């Protein structure tokens, strides 16, 4: 299964060995405070992890572990996830807080979006973010995403964003 490499990161398919790190990422209330759903319990994290792995196995793409290339340490997740309620494939990402502020979210997201519009051949992608999560909103806007809904799923301040292959800002644009 394909790994996406950037200058500093390797985005690789999730392996069973990643589950404890994944559960810690999704179970941390501080990490998930800016998300509408909040922290996941152990069973919920396990279920989501299995869903991610099954979708990747079925499609050949999806959510990946984001790893620091120098050490192969899993520092987060990034990739594509099918969400009918959001309009199709959504870009998802989350990094442990100690990795914030270094441009890594954008680096990982750009690799995933480039694959989506290149090798996978999607026409459009979506993303959702709480308005109060300014780091996430800025990352989406830097990719060229446009906000198309303010109160997604009836949740105040829960924005839905869209990006098309035609409007994606490629490196150098």
pTM for the structure as a whole = 0.89
pLDDT of 35:
52
Question: Dihedral of CA 91/12/41/43: which sign?
Answer: positive
Greater pLDDT, 29 or 173: 29
Strands (E), 27-155: 63-68, 73-83, 88-95, 124-130, 146-149
Q: Which one-letter DSSP state was computed for residue 150?
A: S
pLDDT score, position 170: 59
Cβ(79)–Cβ(63) below 8 Å: yes
CATH of 4-164, one of 1.10.10.60, 3.40.630.30, 3.30.300.130, 1.10.10.10: 3.40.630.30
pLDDT tens digits along 16-34: 999 999 999 988 766 655 5
- Percent of the chain at pLDDT exceeding 90: 66
pLDDT in tens, 27-76: 876 665 555 566 777 888 899 999 999 999 999 999 999 999 999 999 99
Q: What is the rounded distance in angstroms from the CA atom of residue 161 to the CA atom of residue 163?
A: 7
Is the confidence at residue 145, as pLDDT, over 80? yes
């Amino acid at each position: 299964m394909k790994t996406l490499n950037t200058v500093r990161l390797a985005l690789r398919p999730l392996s069973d060995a990643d589950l404890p790190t994944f559960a810690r990422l999704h179970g941390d209330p501080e990490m998930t405070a800016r998300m509408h759903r909040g922290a996941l319990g152990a069973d919920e994290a396990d279920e989501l992890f299995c869903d991610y792995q099954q979708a990747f196995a079925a499609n050949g793409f999806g959510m990946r572990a984001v790893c620091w290339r120098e050490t192969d340490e899993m520092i987060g997740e990034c990739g594509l996830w099918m969400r009918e309620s959001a309009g199709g494939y959504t870009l998802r990402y989350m990094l442990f807080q100690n990795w914030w502020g270094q441009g890594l979210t954008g680096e990982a997201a750009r690799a995933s979006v480039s694959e989506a519009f290149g090798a996978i051949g999607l026409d459009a992608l979506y993303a959702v973010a709480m308005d109060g999560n300014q780091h996430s909103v800025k990352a989406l806007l830097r990719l060229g995403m446009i906000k198309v809904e303010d109160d997604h799923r009836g949740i105040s301040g829960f924005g839905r964003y869209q990006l098309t292959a035609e409007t994606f800002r490629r490196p150098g644009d």
